[in-house]
Amino acid sequence: MGKRKVTILDTASDAVAEAAFYVEGKGLPETAKEFVTDAFSFFSSLADDRI
Say which residues have a Cβ less than 8 Å from residue 17's Cβ, sequence separation at least 6.
36
**What pLDDT sits at residue 29?**
97
- Report the sign of the C-alpha dihedral through residues 9, 34, 42, 15, in that order: negative
**What pLDDT sits at residue 24?**
97
pLDDT, tens digit (0-9, with 9 covering 90-100), for 1-51: 566 777 778 999 999 999 999 999 999 999 999 999 999 999 888 877 666
pTM: 0.76
